[in-house]
Amino acid sequence: GAVVSQHPSWVICKSGTSVKIECRSLDFQATTMFWYRQFPKQSLMLMATSNEGSKATYEQGVEKDKFLINHASLTLSTLTVTSAHPEDSSFYICSVSNYGYTFGSGTRLTVV
Amino acid sequence: GQNIDQPTEMTATEGAIVQINCTYQTSGFNGLFWYQQHAGEAPTFLSYNVLDGLEEKGRFSSFLSRSKGYSYLLLKELQMKDSASYLCAVINTDKLIFGTGTRLQVFP
């Protein structure tokens, strides 16, 4: 499988600000990456599929204007949480598919 | 819609055997994974099934019945470190869709 790096590991931001999370595929050119969100004591919920060079595909119920995804290169996808609110506080994790699914280490976002 | 259901919580005793079930109804199926996840960490791969039957890997085994939309993860010789969440996930086209997850607590 691929080696995936995700940054930052944790971030605290003020309500109303934006936060960018990076997901890098270190040894594999990923045309597709996946973004998940996980609330405490819940499972991973797929938010969107990030497509290199084109628009992301969002799952039903996920606001595309709030969760901006950019996949400008084959090794980097970014998720920007815009105008963050406390209810956006969650664990965000990315994944790359290459002979299985490899996950980044996740980002704990806390909005205060 | 997609439904992938698991029991919410299970408890077991160290040294025992536990079976975690997963039932799914999805619009597509290209395989099923089982992952272990500790709080605040990324999921760790345990097993993969695409054909019916049992896959054994050390203390962990996973079973799949495609006709019944059913899988289970069997953990033998439970250890305290096995206390974690266990997630089944179905591949639908190229997307990995997770079940509701099962929190397992192992007691001495």
Beta strands in B18-59 (DSSP E): 18-25, 32-37, 44-49, 53-57
Residue B104 corresponds to which tokens in the numbers above? 């397992």
What parts of chain B have a pLDDT lower than 50? none
Q: Does B69 touch chain A (CB under 8 A)?
A: no
Beta strands in chain B (DSSP E): 3-5, 9-13, 18-25, 32-37, 44-49, 53-57, 60-65, 70-75, 84-92, 95-98, 102-107
Question: So what's the pLDDT on residue B94?
Answer: 86
| Nearest Cα residue in chain A from B9 | A41
Q: Please tell me which of the candidates B48, B95, B99 has its beta carbon nearest to residue A43.
A: B99
For residue range A22-63, list pLDDT tens digits in order: 999 998 899 999 999 999 989 999 999 999 989 999 999 999
Beta carbons of A105 and A91 less than 8 angstroms apart: no
Q: How far is A16 from chain B (nearest CA, A)?
A: 25
pLDDT at A1 > cutoff 80: no
Instruction: Of A47, A29, A27, A24, give the one whose Cα is nearest residue A37.
Output: A47
pLDDT at A72 > cutoff 90: no
Question: So what's the pLDDT on residue B1?
Answer: 67
Q: How far is B41 from chain A (nearest CA, A)?
A: 6
State the virtual CA torsion across A95, A98, A101, A103 in degrees, nearest 10: -40
Question: So what's the pLDDT on residue A99?
Answer: 83
Contact B43 A103 (CB under 8 A): yes
